[in-house]
């Protein structure tokens, strides 16, 4: 008599995993494998298509996969830009603080049009074979590029079947995931499919989603042959046979569609029990270093068991469910759990008109007293230039755990509904077992070969006849460090600063300090080291959305660079020849070492020789204005805070914000300064504005001449390598905001950082371009590790003029 029973078990708890693998339990082996934190990165770009004259603006987020928090270990982020062929055209170092970093890359006029890949990586990532750098695809338009250039090939199709859990067992109900892809790996939607056995009997029929994926259920029988036929929309038929049917074994299936519970169904056959040598089974549910265990006892007359587990007993995000027989994993399945509890939502107010700008209030729902770090790209409503395959959810919560390529991965995390949850579950069936293999876990020996990079190593050695007189060095304030004294090794007159932060092109000043305390100019041999591991270019990702491949020809679907997209500010020949005396005078007076925004230049104070003489340092000059007061904590601390009655003042030096402290102003000579702009209304700061306003200081190309008889007591060192400057977003000067080219490819605004008050309210101010409808693309991370990805559509036609309150 055929024996079949079904047990429906409700679990409210787990037991510790004590089954041993050598000297480790399975749970301990898994925890050991993940004992080192793993960094994942995500880049939010302001758009995906660029032309000459524009810049690639980006905000990066670093995520601690193990602890589900912003990653604070790494400061050095390596950003590279590659052509489609893998040629590096740009490389820069960017500073990450509190789990995020900001940057921009100017489009070089020598770069050819085409597809490019922006890569972000850290040194720490190289400790793990399974962890990949982050890649983002973008396009640069020149004359024109083929939109679907990859499709200039003969189209063929590949239909694959994926037994859930990994096995088909004779006589056991099984779920099979499937996927139909074309030559270049994109999913292809088809009419329907069917399964027929070798007697001609129809077993089942099935349909797919828009990505060519789906699943069906059947009971395979050993000895039978099953042919699967897929009927394409173009009339073609694809035929494959069912994967190998095993005579005995276990099948695992998971129902992840229920609201409050997850059902894990285990099935086997009689032949399995007749030959069972080890009846010790258990289910291990794991995520990163954490794991939970369910003991499973199979009786000889029970062929199926269903475990109903409360959803809150699973980890948030991806869970790996593995069935063990003794020490051996025999079936595995990935599921995604409780998306709502790891995401945040944001709402936007109606726009307020403020002069030539529009102001908005962003409201974070369920604030929960956490700090938020958000970036916003503002584009026209019908933009064709925001075509990314991922968002922060998919990049940090899904991609790190799967082996295969995921097409259009952000689809599963945008406007989530029951269908998308179902499609995500199907995707995970087709992905098979976890990226983290048990063979690697059981043989894990985690070790740190590559450190968290925090700045650079700054080494030096005193030279010259007076080196014995110098007991220590005084390093003047820099962009990232307050002033400090450095001890010199008495044996070899060397010194080392292991984590030194310097801006690219920054010049630092160093004085020697004699044993009697006097400052002298030292003779120093200086070296700096950046610990960087060269990573080869590798594309392990899919690009953009699923194209319509039917009837594609080589000459079709051409993207053309828009004409007259950016206003031409180059003078024609006649104008150059007729240059006025005033223009020549202005060129001669252009003494600033950096380009200055016209508004800032027109409203700034030009430093004269007299001012430089009256106020030796920049701090002296600012104090003389009577507008600011200085909180000087020296000598107890090197910090100097500059403020007004309304609050602290933001200080910018040649476009870089001084983020550590302002003590550099106490040693920066006014004779080295070209212009100073005092801003009480926070022009151009947007959400980064400070109640106390801001001060922008611009240095001279050459300082005012000083007395040549005065002997300098310091030496200078210029960093050829260092952190790229953080610049403020600016539009390149589009010719017409209402032109179709701007609507298709233009950028209205980019705000890399939105600050929120204790109520979860933040402010955003953007230029008023006259467009009635715009879109805001928001990505971000909170201090508790929760994530935000949101697209907001805003109608600006009914903007009012009232004040934007808190």
More confident residue, 691 or 540: 691
Write out the H or E segment, with its range, that includes residue 270: helix 270-274
Enter the tokens of residue 282. Answer: 């258990």
291, 296, 284, 292: which is closest to 15 by C-alpha? 292
How does pLDDT run across 208-265, given as a tens digit for each residue? 999 999 999 999 999 999 999 999 999 999 999 999 999 999 999 999 999 999 999 9
Distance separating alpha carbons of residues 368 and 176, to the nearest angstrom: 42
Distance separating alpha carbons of residues 302 and 796, to the nearest angstrom: 65
Separation in Å, CA 661 to CA 212, 485, 652: 56, 17, 11
In contact, 56 and 24? CB cutoff 8 Å: no
Is residue 17 scored above 70 in pLDDT? Answer: no
Distance separating alpha carbons of residues 385 and 48, to the nearest angstrom: 5
Distance separating alpha carbons of residues 338 and 333, to the nearest angstrom: 17
% of the chain surpassing 90 pLDDT: 54
Strand 372-380 versus strand 237-241 pairing type:
unpaired
Separation in Å, CA 538 to CA 107, 269, 399, 442, 705: 22, 45, 16, 28, 53
Residue carrying the six token digits 């499919």: 193
When pLDDT is cut at 50, 70 and 90, the band that residue 728 belongs to is confident
Distance separating alpha carbons of residues 560 and 113, to the nearest angstrom: 10
Tell me the Cα Rg of the chain: 32
Is residue 635 scored above 50 in pLDDT? Answer: no
When pLDDT is cut at 50, 70 and 90, the band that residue 123 belongs to is very high
How does pLDDT run across 289-303, given as a tens digit for each residue? 999 999 998 877 788
pLDDT for 317 equals 94
Distance separating alpha carbons of residues 521 and 713, to the nearest angstrom: 4
198, 201, 188, 204: which is closest to 238 by C-alpha? 188
Give the chain's mean pLDDT: 85
Residue carrying the six token digits 């595995």: 332
In contact, 296 and 128? CB cutoff 8 Å: no
pLDDT for 482 equals 82
When pLDDT is cut at 50, 70 and 90, the band that residue 103 belongs to is very high
The model carries a pTM of 0.84
Is residue 143 scored above 80 in pLDDT? Answer: no
Is residue 636 scored above 50 in pLDDT? Answer: no
Distance separating alpha carbons of residues 610 and 671, to the nearest angstrom: 9
User: ω into residue 614 within 30 of 0, thus cis?
Assistant: no
In contact, 751 and 684? CB cutoff 8 Å: no
How does pLDDT run across 47-65, given as a tens digit for each residue? 999 998 899 999 999 999 9
Distance separating alpha carbons of residues 691 and 682, to the nearest angstrom: 8
In contact, 195 and 226? CB cutoff 8 Å: yes
User: Can you tell me whether residue 588 is helix, strand or coil?
Assistant: helix
pLDDT for 2 equals 44
User: For the residues 127-135, what does the mean pLDDT come to?
Assistant: 88
User: Can you tell me whether residue 426 is helix, strand or coil?
Assistant: helix
User: Can you tell me whether residue 25 is helix, strand or coil?
Assistant: strand
User: How deeply is 503 buried, as exposed, middle or buried, from its count of CB atoms within 10 A (0-12, 13-18, 19+)?
Assistant: buried
φ and ψ at residue 66, rounded to 5 degrees: -70, -45
Residue carrying the six token digits 């000083």: 706
Q: Collect all residues with Cβ–Cβ distance below 8 Å to 124 and sequence separation of at least 6.
A: 39, 73, 74, 450, 451, 452, 453
Is residue 457 scored above 80 in pLDDT? Answer: yes
């Amino acid at each position: 008599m055929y024996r079949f029973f079904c047990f429906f078990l409700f679990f409210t708890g787990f037991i510790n995993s004590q089954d041993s693998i050598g000297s480790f339990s399975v749970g301990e082996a898994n925890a050991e494998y993940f004992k080192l934190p793993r960094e994942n990165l995500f880049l939010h770009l302001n758009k995906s298509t660029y032309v000459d004259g524009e810049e690639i603006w980006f905000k990066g987020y670093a995520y601690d996969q193990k602890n589900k928090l912003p990653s604070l270990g790494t400061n050095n982020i390596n950003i590279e830009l590659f052509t489609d062929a893998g040629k590096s055209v740009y490389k820069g170092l960017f500073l990450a603080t509190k789990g995020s970093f900001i940057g921009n890359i100017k489009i070089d006029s020598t770069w050819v049009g085409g597809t490019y890949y922006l890569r972000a990586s850290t040194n720490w990532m190289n400790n793990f074979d399974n962890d990949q750098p982050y890649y983002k695809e973008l396009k640069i338009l020149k004359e024109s590029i083929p939109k679907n250039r990859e499709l200039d090939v003969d189209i063929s199709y590949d239909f694959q079947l994926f037994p859930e859990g990994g096995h088909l067992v004779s006589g056991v109900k099984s779920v099979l995931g499937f996927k139909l892809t074309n030559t270049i790996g994109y999913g292809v939607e088809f009419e329907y499919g069917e399964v027929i056995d070798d007697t001609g009997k129809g077993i089942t029929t099935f349909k797919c989603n828009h990505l060519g994926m789906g699943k069906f259920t059947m009971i395979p029988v050993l000895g039978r042959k099953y042919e699967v036929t897929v009927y394409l929309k173009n009339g073609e038929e694809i035929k494959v046979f069912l994967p190998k049917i095993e005579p005995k074994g276990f099948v695992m299936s998971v129902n992840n569609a229920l609201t409050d519970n997850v059902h894990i169904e285990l099935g086997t056959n009689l032949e399995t029990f007749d030959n069972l040598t080890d009846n010790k089974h258990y289910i291990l549910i794991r995520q990163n270093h954490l794991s939970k265990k369910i003991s499973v006892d199979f009786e000889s007359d029970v062929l199926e068991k269903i475990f109903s587990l409360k959803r809150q007993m699973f980890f948030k995000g991806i869970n790996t469910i593995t069935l063990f027989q003794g020490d051996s994993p025999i079936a595995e399945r990935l599921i995604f759990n409780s998306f709502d509890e790891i995401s945040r939502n944001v709402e936007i107010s109606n726009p307020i008109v403020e002069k030539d700008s529009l102001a908005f209030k962003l409201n974070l729902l369920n604030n929960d007293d956490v700090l938020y770090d958000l970036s916003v790209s503002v584009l026209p409503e019908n933009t064709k230039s925001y075509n990314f395959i991922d968002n922060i959810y998919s990049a940090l919560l899904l991609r790190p755990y799967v082996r295969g390529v995921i097409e259009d991965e952000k689809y599963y995390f945008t406007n989530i509904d029951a269908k998308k949850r179902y499609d995500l579950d199907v995707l995970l069936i087709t992905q098979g077992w976890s990226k983290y293999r048990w063979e690697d876990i059981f043989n894990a020996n985690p070790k740190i070969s590559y450190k968290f990079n925090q700045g650079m190593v700054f080494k030096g050695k005193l030279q010259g006849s007076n080196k014995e007189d110098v007991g220590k060095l005084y390093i003047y304030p820099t962009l990232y460090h307050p002033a400090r004294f450095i001890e010199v090794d008495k044996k070899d007159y060397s010194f080392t600063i292991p984590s030194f932060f310097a801006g690219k092109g920054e010049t630092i000043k160093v004085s020697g300090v004699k044993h009697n305390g006097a400052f002298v100019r030292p003779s120093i041999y200086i070296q700096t080291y950046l610990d960087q591991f060269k990573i080869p270019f590798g594309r392990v990702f899919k690009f953009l959305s699923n194209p319509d491949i039917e009837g594609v020809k080589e000459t079709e679907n051409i993207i053309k660079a828009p004409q007259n997209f950016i206003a031409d500010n180059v003078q024609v020949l006649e104008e150059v020849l007729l240059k006025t005396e005033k223009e020549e005078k202005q060129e001669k007076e252009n003494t600033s070492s950096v380009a200055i925004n016209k508004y800032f230049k027109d409203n700034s104070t030009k430093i004269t020789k007299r001012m430089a003489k009256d106020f030796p340092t920049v701090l002296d000059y600012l104090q003389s204005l009577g507008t600011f007061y200085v909180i000087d904590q020296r000598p107890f601390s090197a910090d100097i805070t500059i403020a007004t009655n309304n609050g602290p003042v933001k200080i910018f030096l040649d476009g870089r914000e001084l983020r550590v402290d302002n003590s550099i102003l106490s040693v920066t000579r006014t004779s080295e300064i070209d212009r100073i702009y005092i801003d009480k209304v926070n022009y151009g700061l947007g959400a980064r504005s400070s109640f106390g306003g801001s001060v922008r200081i611009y240095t001279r190309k050459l300082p005012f001449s000083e007395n040549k008889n005065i002997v300098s007591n310091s030496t200078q060192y210029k960093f050829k390598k260092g952190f790229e400057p953080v610049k403020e977003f600016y539009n390149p000067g589009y010719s017409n905001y209402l032109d179709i080219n701007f609507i298709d490819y233009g950028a209205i605004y980019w705000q890399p950082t939105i600050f929120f008050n204790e109520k979860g309210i933040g402010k955003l101010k953007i230029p008023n371009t006259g467009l009635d409808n715009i879109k805001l693309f928001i990505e971000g991370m909170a201090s508790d590790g929760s994530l935000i990805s949101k697209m907001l559509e805003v109608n600006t036609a009914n903007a009012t003029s009232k004040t934007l309150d808190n």
